[in-house]
Structure 1
Amino acid sequence: MEGQWGQRFLVVYAGVLTTAVVAALLSGFVVKPKKMQIDELDVQRINLVEPDGTLRMVISDKANFPGAIFKGKEYPHPRGAAGMLFYNDEGTENGGLIFSGHKDKDGKIVDSGGSLTFDKYEQDQLVQLVGAHDSSGHLAGLIVSDRADRPIEQDFIDADKLKAMPEAQRDALMQQRQKEGYYGATRISVTRSDDGIAKVSLRDAQGHPRIVMGVAADGASSLKFLDADGKVLNELTPAARK
């Protein structure tokens, strides 16, 4: 009997000891880790999250760059760039910094440059600082836009349906949406493009330039007033000095 009780005691003791060891080990994983200091780190993507897991920022290479994310739900949205995306308190994209640059096999520049944007709530960018160079030319400037009040997520939900439309029907729909300002419009642009003119353009709610102030590379300057069709109604130029 004493031998049996001794064995039982050892079994119970071993169980208690094992439980205590496991508890001690597990407690080590819930303690906040100490601050890490490293000299160099190679990584393809970093996700910055809140304690509850809400995504707030992504820094990524091109291969792992995320699609469009709305309140944690991701939709396909290829951008062909590396960079950094910002997310609001709800885990919805609200701006970012992207950059890229490469040539094709024939040595022709396909794209180069970067873009810093800040978005309207659940919509596209309100402000964009851009410097871009591609096969069609180059553009550098600041662009301020109006955006619709509807959530842009619906556009990603409907993307496959829009893609499946006959081309003529899709083109007609896009033209109608453009006319109605469905996607918003550029209201202010301060740019320098391939024409060599440093230009300030103030536009109406449909994105039509109505006042354009410009200075050409040779110093010629002007102030133009236009109608909605782009016709110059009046133009002011510096008076010649006598």
Structure 2
Amino acid sequence: MQQNLSYTQSPIFWMDPRLNPPLPSQVNILPPPPFPDFRRKRRKDGTCTYLLIIFLLVSLALFGVGIGTYKIMELQKEMDHFRQTSSDPSVSPSWAKLIGLAPSQQKESRLAAHLTAKQGTSLPLTWEETIGRAFTSGVRYKNRGLVVNQTGLYFLYSSVYFRGASCRSTAFLSHTVYKKSKRYPGELKLMENRENQYCDANSNWGRHSYLGALFNLTSDDTLYVNVSDINLISFEESKTFFGLYKL
């Protein structure tokens, strides 16, 4: 009996990994684009705005200071010019005409005097009336005093500078302005400055005394300046002077 040796064989498949690569285990997903931070941009824009405002304010302040300085300088020039013209008798009439004063007002504006210190050895103090800054206009200087020619309200002033190389502990300084009048005898004290303990022993020292006030003066009143010790007076015209002007 012949045996049938044929049988069914299952097909065998061979897989080559080089032909089909394996699938990736994970898929790389790109993150979404970042969302813009508008708060940071807004903060940055706000800082720029603040800086611009500060810059404008500083520029405006500097501009105002510049304008103010310019105006002050112009005003100072005008005041210097006015002082020069008002103290110069040859210029005062033309200046009064320029600003439109009436003749009576022009005459009253010249009632003034400024006297400067003059070397002397006795009291009351002696004054210079014509040299340097000194002048008299509508007021007379006679026998060491200023004589008022017209009754009215005057501003009276006096400056005295004391100095020395040593100090006496019991000494004092006094500076007095007084007047004499035909209406009553004697002297009438108008202003006085008195100072004790004005210096330290064995050292150079200096003290300035200034007096000034308004007084109603009468025609022919005569004004004088007296001090405690004439040997302590500095006779520089910028430190010791005496004057008045009618308001």
Query: Fold-level match, TM-score > 0.5?
Result: no
| Larger proportion of strand | 1
TM-score bracket for this pair, using the shorter chain length: under 0.3
TM value normalised by structure 1: 0.25
Which of structures 1 and 2 has the larger relative contact order (alpha carbons within 8 angstroms, sep 6+)? Answer: 2
Larger % of helix: which? 2
Structure showing greater radius of gyration is 2
TM-score by length of 2: 0.24
